[in-house]
Amino acid sequence: MPSLGADMTTGTLRKWYVKPGDHVSRGDVVAVVETEKAAIDVEIYEAGVIEQLVAEPGQQLPVGGVLATLRADGAPRGWVRASPAARKLARERGIDLAAITGSGPHGAIERADVERITAATEVPLAAPAPPPIPPPPTLPPPTAPTPERSGIRHAIALATARSNREIPHYYLETRIDMRASLLHLEQLNAQRPIRDRILPAALLLKAVARAPAAVPALNGYWLDDGPQLQEGIHLGVAVALRQGGLVIPAIHDVDTRPLDDVMAAMRDVITRARAGRLKSSEVTDATITVTNLGDLGVETVYGVIYPPQIALVGFGRITEQPWADAGMLGIRPVLHATLAADHRATDGHQGAQFLTSLAQLLGAPQTL
């Protein structure tokens, strides 16, 4: 059972797409797993032959539990490619290596993969005893219609509570002059049919993905008391669901993809997020998250970091504001960009460099 998010502790197998003897390739969807948030298409990360389906549809398993066994291509039966450190850690924590998808060379399982799996369920061993909690006051029963406690609400409650409990957030904010960016998009879109138009939201994603080139320390995870920085820049995009709640699918390698491609990927992933058709890699491997609340009016958002990530970038609405430049006062379209970052992993100095880099990139949109 893969960990499909920091808030996931168990999952329910809904459906198998494979049977014993089937050959699978990296990226194939092999099963549907239901979490509290959504049904997710689970992809396999290694090529091989399905040996045995261990779990049955309907069965609930903890993260790390065995769904099926796979014989990797070219490997003898029962052999799993893993680093010695990963094997040791898995043994200590009682995790079956066969249940983990590796991120190392040729799909090898590395220590970080084992840590990622356990991060979701782990309870710190040496945590001091919490102070006694006073009994809750007697409250009157709810008088307004109260929605039922939903799975997605519960999942968000777990992740955000963990984030604010464990991650020492710091927040930075800057105002960005969006004149050059909006002008660039206007010129670009004027020559395009509606279907190919690019929204400011896509340009913002592109800029966020390019900023870690200046400050790599913000792209990755904080796991096991240390930073684990990532080379690939996979942006988690917070998508509000109409029935309430949100999901954060990832768009992969945004830094290296052309703007048109990023726009298309954004449309695709938002549509599938709302239809409940996301793939496992999309809900697990974001390296930094972006939340854009500008569409319906707010100017500034101070976000909650999605653990175990290090940073979250927030955008508000672009509004016309007075702007002083070179001794002159003018009116510019202004965007409030914020950064919420983990102070264990980075300092305000790096965070400030990140936002400065972001503003510079948006000032030269033709380079994005």
Partner 1 sequence: MTEAEIETILADVVHRVAPEIDLTHVAPDDDLRQALDLDSFDFLNVLIGLQERLGLEIPERDYGKVRSLRSLVTYCKAAQR
Residues that bind partner 1 (CB under 8 A): 186, 189-190, 193-195, 197, 199-201, 240, 242-243, 266-267, 270, 295-296
CB of 210 to partner 1, least distance (A): 21
Q: Which is nearer to partner 1, 138 or 243 (CB)?
A: 243
Q: Which is nearer to partner 1, 56 or 186 (CB)?
A: 186
User: What's the rounded Cα separation, in Å, for the pair 367 and 14?
Assistant: 45
Q: Which is nearer to partner 1, 291 or 346 (CB)?
A: 291
Cα distance from N-terminal residue to C-terminal residue, the chain: 38
CB of 151 to partner 1, least distance (A): 19
CB of 181 to partner 1, least distance (A): 14
Beta strands in 97-177 (DSSP E): 169-177
Helix axes 111-119, 84-93, angle to 10 degrees: 30
Q: Which is nearer to partner 1, 26 or 197 (CB)?
A: 197
CB of 240 to partner 1, least distance (A): 8
Phi-psi region of 155 (alpha: psi -120 to 50; beta: other; left: phi over 0): alpha
Dihedral, CA of residue 254, residue 260, residue 261 and residue 265, to nearest 10: 90
CB of 90 to partner 1, least distance (A): 41
Q: Which is nearer to partner 1, 58 or 276 (CB)?
A: 276
* Partners of residue 94 on adjacent β-strands: none
Q: What is the CA 291 to chain-centroid distance, rounded?
A: 11
Q: CA distances (Å), 93 to each of 96, 98, 108, 115, 142, in order? A: 9, 14, 19, 10, 43
User: What's the rounded Cα separation, in Å, for the pair 261 and 187?
Assistant: 18
* Partners of residue 313 on adjacent β-strands: 290, 339
Q: What's the DSSP call for residue 255?
A: G
Backbone phi and psi for residue 33, each to the nearest 5 degrees, phi listed first: -120, 135
CB of 228 to partner 1, least distance (A): 32
CB of 294 to partner 1, least distance (A): 8
Q: Which is nearer to partner 1, 223 or 293 (CB)?
A: 293
Q: Which is nearer to partner 1, 49 or 264 (CB)?
A: 264
